[in-house]
Structures are given as C-alpha cells and as structure tokens.
Amino acid sequence: MTVRRRSQLNHLKYLTSTAQSCFDASFKNTRLTEASQFYSSLVQQCLHTRSLLDVGIVQTHMIKFGYIHLHIGNKLIDASLKCGSISYARKLFDELPNRHIVMWNSMISSYISHKKSKEGIGLYERMVLDGVYPDEYTFSCVFKAFSNLGLINEGRRAHGLSVVLGLEVSNVFVGSALVDMYAKFGRMKDARLVSNRVVDKDVVLFTALIVGYSQQGDNGEALEVFGSMINQGIKANAYTFASILITCGNLEDLTNGKLVHGLVIKSGYEPAVASQTSLLTMYARCGLIDDSLRIFKRFPNPNHVTWTSLIVGLVRNGREELALKKFRKMICKSIVPNSFTLSSALQACSNLAMIDEGRQIHAMVTKFGLDRDVYAGAALVNLYGKCGSTEMARSVFDALIDIDVVSMNSMIYSYAQNGFGHEALELFNSMKELGLEPNEVTILSVLLACNNSGLVHEGCQIFATITNNQTIELTRDHYACMVDLLGRSGRLEEAEALVKQVRNPDVVLWRTLLSACKLHGEVEMAERAVNKVLELAPGDEGSHILLTNVYASTGFG
DNA sequence: ATAGGGTTAG
C-alpha cells in the first residue's frame, strides 16, 4: 500500500466533508478534465490494492457528486472485476444509464471465464435485445460459453449473427473461438469450414483444429493439420506441441512422436510443463514407459496432472506395482489426487486383485468426496467385482449420482464374474428405462453373465436380437462366449455353425468348441476342431491332451 | 479501455 494512495483517499475524504461545493454541477461542467483525471487516478489506485472497499468509496463519491462519465464507469467496473467481485461490477453495470460496448464485453467475458457461462449468455442475449451490436471482443468469448453449456443451436445462431456483422472470419480471435466451439461439439466439418474462410490463420486457430480432430479420434487429420501449419510457416508453441504429442500417442506413432520431441527441443519449449506432461504420455502410449519415467524425473515440481499421467502410463504398461508405489509417493508429498488419479490407482489394484490396498484407496475416494463420481465409482465397482465382493460393488454403484454406460457395464460385469446371472439381466433390462444405450462391452458382459449362470435361453435371445439389429458390432469375444454357452449346454451343432460364421476364427474359438466336445464326448467334431487349432497354432499341446481325453471318455483311440 | 488454444480416465 503506497503512501501516495493513502493520501489520495484521505484527500477524497477531506473533499467529501469540506469541499462539496467544488463538485457541484458547475464544477463538473467547467473542470471536467480535472475531475476525470482525479477519479481516474483513484481507480488506478484501487487496481493496485485490489480492494473492493476502495472501489466502493470512489463510486459512492462519484454518484454523490453527480459525476457520471462513461470512461470512468468502465474503469470502475474493470476495477471491481479485477478485485474479484463480479456481482459488484454487475451492480455498477445495472445502475449506470448508458453502457458502452466495452462494459458489456468486460461483464460477459468475466462471467464466462469464471465458469458462469449461463450469466454470460444471459447478458449477451440482453445486449442483442437492447440493440447493442456485439463486436469481435464479444464473439471471441461467447462461443466458449455455448460449448460449455452444450447449446449447439444457440451457438449456431450467434455464429449467424457474427456472419451478418462481418466478424466471423475477419478477426482471427472470432474465427478460432468458432473453430473451438464446433470442435467441442464434435462437428469438425463445421470447424473446418470456418477455419478455411479465416484469412489470417494463426497458431491458436490451428491448435484448436488439431485438438478438435484429435479428441474426435481423427488423429491422422490432426497430424495433417499440424504439417500444413508448419508448411505455412506458422511456428508451433507449447500448446501446439502438447496437443500434437498427444495425437502421436493416440496413434502410437513413435516415429512422429520422436520427430516432434526433436522439434520441441529445437524450439526451446522443452522446459514448458505442458509439453513435458504430453511427452511423458506420448512415450507411455508408445510403450516406452522407461522414457516416461526418465522424463518424469526431470520435473522439479510435478503437479497432480503430471503424477496422474505417470500412474496412468504405468498401469497401461502393466507396471501396476510401480504405479501404486508412485501413487503412495504422490500422497506422501501432499498432492491431492482427483478422480483421474484415484481411478487409475484403483485399476492397478483391480489388475493385481489387491483388495486391501483397494479398500484404502476407497477410503481416500470418500475422503476427497468422490463417492458419487462416475470414474472413481466404476473403478471401485471393477475392483470389488474382481475380488468377489458383489455386494460392495453394488453399494458403490447405487451411490453414484449419474449412471453412465461404463459404470453400468462394470456392474453387470461384476455380476457376471461372480455368477449372478439374474441380477445382471435385471440391470441390463433396466438400461432402456434409464435411457442408456448398451454398447459392445455391455453385450459381452451380459452374455458372460448368462454363460456363467447357465442362462442359455436368455443369452441366445440377446445374441439373436443384437445380430438382427446390427447396431452393435460383435467381436470374436462375443462369439467365443456364445460358442461356450451353446457348447456347454450340449448344442454343439449350433456352436460349430457359429464358429464358422466368424470371418477369421481364431484359436480361442476352436479351443472353446473343443472343450465343449470333450464335455459331451463328441468325437468327430473334436477331431475337426483339433485340426483347426493345429492349423492356427502348430504344436498346441493342450488340444492334443483334450482330444485324447475325448477318445478316452468315449472308448475310442 | 476488453479477447483465444493444451496436458491425466473407465
């Protein structure tokens, strides 16, 4: 706090009590510039101290002496926003009779950057209704609010207005905001159309496009955009590198990954935290987890995202023990895990069937208030299912605030693993009412449940429905499950017919059929199956033994 | 006077 500021505010108080007459209307008219400078410098002081109280003092004084000037009003609003009080700024905003476009923009962008997209859009709509035309500053921030709230139609309407006002592609900020919005809506075609029209594309616009393609699973296109950006002589920055490294990781494209790593080093962005986390992830996804570990060691202060990336990478690469060790170390360093971290640590426990460790992490999930989180929840359901505690799995499942397909799948699979076929079917049948669309994993889980509980009829029915609808792509795993189900119940002909339906039947399918043959003493089919197994896996000892068993049990051989 | 993009998960 400066002495000068104190003296100015004291001076203000002095003026308030003794020199009111100086600030009457005539003063205002004759010495406007002086008053303006006076207030302006006071507001400037408020900005330095970030004290809303001072803003209030200045404002009260201004209103009391009838000094209303747009420029100063803006500064007051700006000062309130910078002091962290949107509501106070809004109060000032609503009180002032004439609002300049800058005020509207400041208010709207503050709302949106403080995760109050609804209020931001509300103000944007009022602005349009009031006949104030949004400008490039307005558009550069409202589109984000539409994507935050998933309001696609409203976003398109605003896009339309920006076209009418000629701001869509003439300003790169507006253009990239539009590209980002359409990308977040998954509408890459629209994003691309806007991008193509922007005259002066910059690195931010390209990055938004790259991230869009990457997150929509079109990593190849993301890589192309990156290439064309470089060709146009636009330099990548830390954000771009972070995104394109993730793209390489998604593609498990080590060649390009290493190439980009080289570019990162060359351009001097390596120290940027962002690039390094993505570097770590890229190497982990490409299977070079030791490189990830080496990169991790170079972080002076790894944050929760860095730790989580490492843990996730370790679990992906089958290094669950080390993942849990790192997780404990992270906790020791008082870094707060989030649902990403906890679900990965829980996955490590599931893979190792470490129920005690898992229970401890469950306690942390509770401690950090993530009991109702779908990700942590699904991981817990998996853990308890894997370790045979179906009841615990169900109680976690029932506490979830939002049930999605994945958590539903986890619960059905938990039932399946532990032989609770009817419970699994019941959940499966409840999905329609909940508005959840089953996917491949759901079907596999429910078929496994039928298989493990001998619910042949129900399993066949579900399989037939899926085959007829053709909405879900059936994999070899689905077929293997059905072959087992039919085979075990003695419907060997149907089982063999099913194997033959598969485009490239693998060893697992034939071996499954062979086991069924053994169970029912079916010699001829067993011989056919063994031949197929040996075709695909020459020297398979196991199938010979199985065949011998079949011969023995039927008196052949 | 005001403005934009990234990284961790079933």
Residue of A141, A180, A143 whose CA lies nearest to A159 = A143
The mean-pLDDT minimum among A231-235, A322-326, A545-549 falls in A545-549
Compute the 3-state secondary structure of chain A and give helix, strand, coil in percent, each to the nearest 5: 75, 0, 25
Overall domain count for chain A: 1
Whether A282 is in a domain gets the answer no
Whether A499 is in a domain gets the answer yes
Q: What is the pLDDT of residues A391-409, one digit of tens each?
A: 999 999 999 988 999 999 9
Q: How many CA atoms lie within 13 A of A224 on its CB side?
A: 7
Whether A490 is in a domain gets the answer yes
Strand B proximal to A396 Cβ, under 7 A: no
Instruction: Give residues 146-165 of chain A lying near strand B (Cβ < 7 A).
Output: none
Of A483 and A16, the structure prediction assigns the larger pLDDT to: A483
Instruction: Give residues 305-324 of chain A lying near strand B (Cβ < 7 A).
Output: 305-306, 308-309, 312, 315-316
Tell me: pLDDT of A429 over 80. yes
Whether A4 is in a domain gets the answer no
* Rounded distance in angstroms from the CA atom of residue A14 to the C1' atom of nucleotide B8: 57
Whether A62 is in a domain gets the answer no
pLDDT computed for residue A335 by the predictor: 95
What is the nearest nucleotide to A312, using C1' and CA?
B8
Residue of A300, A334, A320 whose CA lies nearest to A310 = A320
Residue A115 — left, alpha, or beta (φ > 0 → left; ψ -120 to 50 → alpha)?
Answer: left
What is the nearest nucleotide to A71, using C1' and CA?
B1
pLDDT computed for residue A71 by the predictor: 65
| A151, A118 contact by CB (below 8 A) | no
Whether A322 is in a domain gets the answer no
Tell me: pLDDT of A458 over 90. yes
Whether A432 is in a domain gets the answer no
* Residue whose tokens read 């104190």: A6
* Rounded distance in angstroms from the CA atom of residue A371 to the C1' atom of nucleotide B4: 35
Tell me: pLDDT of A4 over 50. no
* Rounded distance in angstroms from the CA atom of residue A264 to the C1' atom of nucleotide B7: 15
Tell me: pLDDT of A373 over 60. yes
pLDDT computed for residue A214 by the predictor: 97
Instruction: Give residues 408-427 of chain A lying near strand B (Cβ < 7 A).
Output: 410
pLDDT computed for residue A540 by the predictor: 79
* Rounded distance in angstroms from the CA atom of residue A94 to the C1' atom of nucleotide B1: 19
pLDDT computed for residue A133 by the predictor: 96
Strand B proximal to A488 Cβ, under 7 A: no
Instruction: Give residues 215-244 of chain A lying near strand B (Cβ < 7 A).
Output: 215, 237-240, 242-243
Looking at strand B, which nucleotides approach a protein CB closer than 7 A?
1-10
* Rounded distance in angstroms from the CA atom of residue A416 to the C1' atom of nucleotide B3: 53
Strand B proximal to A296 Cβ, under 7 A: no
Q: What is the pLDDT of residues A299-329, one digit of tens each?
A: 888 999 999 999 999 999 999 999 999 999 9
pLDDT computed for residue A338 by the predictor: 95
* Rounded distance in angstroms from the CA atom of residue A34 to the C1' atom of nucleotide B2: 26
Strand B proximal to A292 Cβ, under 7 A: no
Q: What is the pLDDT of residues A162-186, one digit of tens each?
A: 999 999 999 999 999 999 999 999 9
pLDDT computed for residue A150 by the predictor: 95
> Per-residue confidence at A10, pLDDT binned at 50, 70, 90?
low
The mean-pLDDT minimum among A93-97, A225-229, A230-234, A321-325 falls in A93-97
Tell me: pLDDT of A68 over 70. no
Q: How many CA atoms lie within 13 A of A161 on its CB side?
A: 21
What is the nearest nucleotide to A273, using C1' and CA?
B7
Give the C-alpha distances (Å, rounded to integers) separating A220 from A236, A280, A518, A519, A534.
Answer: 18, 20, 48, 48, 39
Strand B proximal to A144 Cβ, under 7 A: yes
Residue % of chain A over a pLDDT of 90: 71
What is the nearest nucleotide to A174, using C1' and CA?
B4
Residue % of chain A over a pLDDT of 70: 87
What is the nearest nucleotide to A308, using C1' and CA?
B8
Whether A252 is in a domain gets the answer no
Structural domain for A511, as ranges: 485-557
CA A14, chain centre distance (Å): 56
* Rounded distance in angstroms from the CA atom of residue A214 to the C1' atom of nucleotide B6: 12
* Rounded distance in angstroms from the CA atom of residue A429 to the C1' atom of nucleotide B7: 39
Strand B proximal to A195 Cβ, under 7 A: no
For the stretch A104-109, contacts whose Cβ atoms lie closer than 8 Å and that sit 24 or more positions apart, written own/partner, are A104/A132, A104/A134, A104/A138, A105/A135, A105/A137, A105/A138, A105/A141, A106/A74, A106/A77, A106/A78, A106/A81, A107/A77, A107/A81, A108/A138, A108/A141, A108/A142, A109/A137, A109/A141
Mean pLDDT of A48-62: 69
Strand B proximal to A36 Cβ, under 7 A: no
> Per-residue confidence at A275, pLDDT binned at 50, 70, 90?
confident
Of A28 and A350, the structure prediction assigns the larger pLDDT to: A350
Instruction: Give residues 56-95 of chain A lying near strand B (Cβ < 7 A).
Output: 70-71, 74-75, 78
Q: Distance between CA atoms of A336 and A367, rounded to whole angstroms?
A: 11
* Rounded distance in angstroms from the CA atom of residue A33 to the C1' atom of nucleotide B9: 59
pLDDT computed for residue A67 by the predictor: 59
Strand B proximal to A451 Cβ, under 7 A: no
Strand B proximal to A382 Cβ, under 7 A: yes
Question: 3-state DSSP call for residue A435?
Answer: coil
**Residues 6 or more apart whose Cβ sits within 8 Å of residue A324:** A345, A348, A349, A354, A357
